[in-house]
Structure 1
Amino acid sequence: MAMTAVMAVTMLAATGVSTALAPPAHAQVVADIAYAPAQPAGSRGHLLDLHLPSTGITPRPLIIWHTGSAWTSDDGKAGADAIAAIFNPLGFAVAGVSVRSSAQAIFPAQVHDMKAAIRWLRANAATYQLDPNRFAIMGDSSGGWLTEMATLSGGVAAMEGTVGTTGVSSAVQVGLAFYSPTDFLQMNAQNLPTGGLDHNSPASPESLLVGCPIQTCPAAVAQANPMTYADANDPPLMFLHGQADFLVPHGQSVLLYNRIKAQCGDATFVSVPAADHMMPQIMDPAQHGLQTVRTTTDCGETVSTGTFNPTWANFTTFLRSGLKMGNACEVTYSTGVWTGAFNGSVTIRNTGTTPVDRWVLTWTWPGNQQVTSGWNATVTQTGTQVTARDAGHNSYIGPGSSQSFGFSATATGTNGIPAQFKLNNIVCTRVP
């Protein structure tokens, strides 16, 4: 039985994202902030790291990240550098949050810790130029479980605790979870036909979390089930799960989705064929177009195949929408043509409610156009992909405001208009 827990710990630790990307450039890292006194003394479970971008709007939207470990580690903040490498350049602050391990404290201590960290971040938002009304939370495996608990249990007194800062809201505005456990009691029955972990073992990660063999204490297990807290008032939640998950059965996310749908909640469930319990397989481009995507909101449901590819750009769009960041823009594109070459003029208008600072506009040519120069922007091209970056003096686009730039290019044959423009990975509406 002990080997079961060791196997889970080893495999879960191997699925983290902390080595996926280098630490972000041009970002300030404030490390080892104590959001509450260490408990026990010398432990790391009440520490967080803040990765603050040097670009973007202020106050900054915040993404809270916790790396899964089958609840065996008190250093869940360690994977936040890779998340910051993705989101800092987009203007998001990232907080890597650690909570106590199951060896240091049993459930609900881990949820109490996460909520204490959220309260601390909100109480100190002005110090770090964070937007207290735009907090997102993300995590994988047991970190995904913690994401779901924090997202769905807002306002539940038993899940608040008294750790650290109190008297401040622990609410988040949107959640994004990867391959998370939910109903521990059904995990063994949902294991793959080829096998899986013995989750009913007294030495299983789930039993160690709640402090008892899970089948002997169903009431305690129910309190650790995110489904217990789902209702129509919860923030939007997206969760992704591989159908070939050996460690946490895919059926765990099926249960959660069905519960949220029954409660008329707001959820998107992305089911990925052939993916096991690891981020690279969930996001594997070879699986793009094959995912089953179930979305429920306001008691309605849509089911489709391949309409949402698990990419960081698409996750960003989801988070921005949940944070109500006004992810809206318009692009006006016009050309003046002569034989073999042309000049292009582009105007970007911010039709959202949030200012844009430091912008990048991208598009793909439909023909053989080739950029030769640009003005009021740095315009480069790789293959058919064009990237236009602000020139510094025109980096800020307030709500309702515009910035323009131009370029020269060569072309032969039909000089078609690009089908799509993206501003900081957000698709813009093209207007005449």
Structure 2
Amino acid sequence: MHVRSRTAAIAGMVMTMLAALAVPLVLPPPAQADQVISNLAYAPAQPAGSKGHLLDLYLPAGGTTPRPLIIWHSGSAWSSDDGKTGAAAIAAVFNPRGFAVAGVSVRSSAQAVFPAQVHDVKAAIRWLRANAATYQLDPGRFAMMGDSSGGWLTEMATLTGGVASLEGTVGTTGVSSAVQTGLAFFSPTDFLQMNAQNLPTGGLDHDSPASPESMLIGCPIQTCPAQVALANPINYVDANDPPLLFLHGQADFLVPHGQSVLLYNKIKASCGQGRFISIPGADHGLDFVMDPTRFGTQTTYTTANCSGTTTAGSPNPTWDTFADHIRGGLKMGTSCTVAYVPTTWDGAFSATVTITNTGTTPVDRWAVTWAWPGNQQVTDSWNATLTQSGAQVTARDAGHNAYIGPGSAQSFGLSATYSGTNARPSEFRLNGVVCTPAA
């Protein structure tokens, strides 16, 4: 039987297994995006009438602009061309944190075989970067996230930046398709080892001509190892890759836990940046790997600078943990302190603001925001560019002081007028993170 004679049977088999395992196919809660722009075509439909070249944008009204972007793709065993489904729930988590979210669809394996799916996601990234100004996105701060086959797509996008053979010619060209960090959930990597890594109780027959992996590649995977190798994200790992966080349940029935073990070992051996959270007892699904009843049981493997560490019980796999990883990978900062020192005279004052990066990752390009408690009005600034709208003030780096290493600080100053009281602002934020007042 020719492998392209895929019917609804394989999709039905996989989806039936997902349902039997109570894997959530849509992430709660419902989205609360401030603006949703649906069905943007990043390339012409192929085939006509299909959905694989569409994306949805979820844009927050608040926060500083340009906005960092999270690109989401939902897993489906490569059987769906509607992978943007599920992005609404991701937006509900990240829009309030100041992130834009793009749900991106790619062609299904029934519509096109590998590397079409990688060509598609790279085309979507290029389109988003080329249109960043239109949607007030920060083209230098793109992250990607996905689960299962969406996690595989995330790893391929994160680890193959600059790999010309995987760019393709879909849609917009001549723009970078690189992302700056990735977050992948329970992803397949080396298809040829999946059967050997199945749980003792069984699992999907990944070597079958009708398996999701064989359908993606376009041949029974054990008969075409060279083509399978091109679809293995492990084979693209090197020391220059962006930081990648990935999670896997040890009781995953559909995608063996060992797939992520292989990836972590390659990142560590290559002196890359990776963090692998392994959750005992967790099956295939976000509700499983993020189950609070398992908090504290996980093991976290972290590698950077050619060395690795193992931590038992932390960090917990929560949205806060994931947001910290993304912020760190995008060099936005994860924690900070602020010192505000004013010098006041009749109806006017000057102030020095010193921001210290108390996180473990660098900050590259910063915006400090606050609201005046009175009628203060900025008249001048130095070592930063200040803009004011009503009581809201944004101070952006001056270029020469854009970098703040871990434990380091940058200062800027301002002059302003006021009448009445001149109380200090109650809160300063560094790239959206609330800073602790310095002692």
Same fold by TM-score greater than 0.5: yes
Kindly state the Cα deviation for residue 176 of structure 1 after the two structures are TM-superposed: 0.2
CA–CA distance in structure 1, aligned partners of residues 316 and 434 of structure 2: 15
Answer yes or no: is 1:355 the counterpart of 2:406. Answer: no
Q: How does 1:128-277 map to 2 (within 5 A)?
A: 128-277=135-284
Aligned residue in 2 for 1:9: 15
Q: 2:316 aligns with which of 309, 322, 337?
A: 309
SS of 2:119's equivalent in the other structure is: helix
Residues 138, 177 of structure 1: 8 Å contact kept:
yes
Aligned residue in 1 for 2:426: 405
Q: 1:319 aligns with which of 326, 330, 336?
A: 326
CA–CA distance in structure 1, aligned partners of residues 103 and 96 of structure 2: 16
CA–CA distance in structure 2, aligned partners of residues 95 and 41 of structure 1: 22
Aligned residue in 1 for 2:287: 280
Give me the identity figure in percent: 67
SS of 1:64's equivalent in the other structure is: strand
Deviations 1:192-240 (A, max 9, x none): 1111010000000000000001111100110000001000010000000
Kindly state the Cα deviation for residue 171 of structure 1 after the two structures are TM-superposed: 0.3
CA–CA distance in structure 2, aligned partners of residues 229 and 65 of structure 1: 21
Residues 68, 143 of structure 1: 8 Å contact kept:
yes
RMSD: 2.8
Kindly state the Cα deviation for residue 395 of structure 1 after the two structures are TM-superposed: 5.0
Q: So what's the TM-score if we normalise by structure 1?
A: 0.81
SS of 2:327's equivalent in the other structure is: helix
CA–CA distance in structure 1, aligned partners of residues 143 and 30 of structure 2: 22
Residues 368, 430 of structure 2: 8 Å contact kept:
no
Deviations 1:315-372 (A, max 9, x none): 1111011001133421679xxxxxxxxxxxxxx975464225589xxxxxxxxxxxxx
- Aligned residue pairs total 375
Kindly state the Cα deviation for residue 425 of structure 1 after the two structures are TM-superposed: 8.9
CA–CA distance in structure 2, aligned partners of residues 97 and 122 of structure 1: 14
Answer yes or no: is 1:22 the counterpart of 2:34. Answer: no
CA–CA distance in structure 2, aligned partners of residues 6 and 357 of structure 1: 51
Residues 70, 100 of structure 2: 8 Å contact kept:
yes
CA–CA distance in structure 1, aligned partners of residues 64 and 355 of structure 2: 13
Residues 90, 424 of structure 1: 8 Å contact kept:
no
Q: 1:53 aligns with which of 60, 76, 94?
A: 60
| Ranges in structure 1 where 5+ consecutive residues have no aligned partner | 334-347, 360-374, 378-391, 407-420
Kindly state the Cα deviation for residue 22 of structure 1 after the two structures are TM-superposed: 1.2
Deviations 1:132-169 (A, max 9, x none): 00000000000000000000011111111000000000
CA–CA distance in structure 2, aligned partners of residues 183 and 135 of structure 1: 26
SS of 1:101's equivalent in the other structure is: coil
Q: 1:96 aligns with which of 98, 103, 113?
A: 103
Q: Which structure 1 residue ranges, 4+ long, deviate > 6 Å from structure 2? A: 421-425
CA–CA distance in structure 1, aligned partners of residues 14 and 393 of structure 2: 48
Q: So what's the TM-score if we normalise by structure 2?
A: 0.79
CA–CA distance in structure 1, aligned partners of residues 199 and 106 of structure 2: 30
SS of 2:176's equivalent in the other structure is: coil
Residues 241, 272 of structure 1: 8 Å contact kept:
yes
Residues 100, 113 of structure 1: 8 Å contact kept:
yes
Q: In the superposition, relative to structure 1, how do residues 191 and 4 fare at CA in structure 2: closer, same or farther (>3 Å)?
A: farther
Deviations 1:165-185 (A, max 9, x none): 000000000000000000000
Q: In the superposition, relative to structure 1, how do residues 38 and 266 fare at CA in structure 2: closer, same or farther (>3 Å)?
A: same
| Ranges in structure 2 where 5+ consecutive residues have no aligned partner | 1-5, 341-352, 358-364, 375-388, 397-410, 414-423
Residues 295, 313 of structure 2: 8 Å contact kept:
yes
CA–CA distance in structure 2, aligned partners of residues 68 and 221 of structure 1: 19
Deviations 1:58-83 (A, max 9, x none): 11100000000000000000111000
- Using the TM superposition, name which of 210-219 and 16-25 deviates more: 16-25
SS of 1:76's equivalent in the other structure is: coil
Residues 56, 357 of structure 1: 8 Å contact kept:
no
Kindly state the Cα deviation for residue 52 of structure 1 after the two structures are TM-superposed: 0.7
CA–CA distance in structure 1, aligned partners of residues 11 and 45 of structure 2: 25
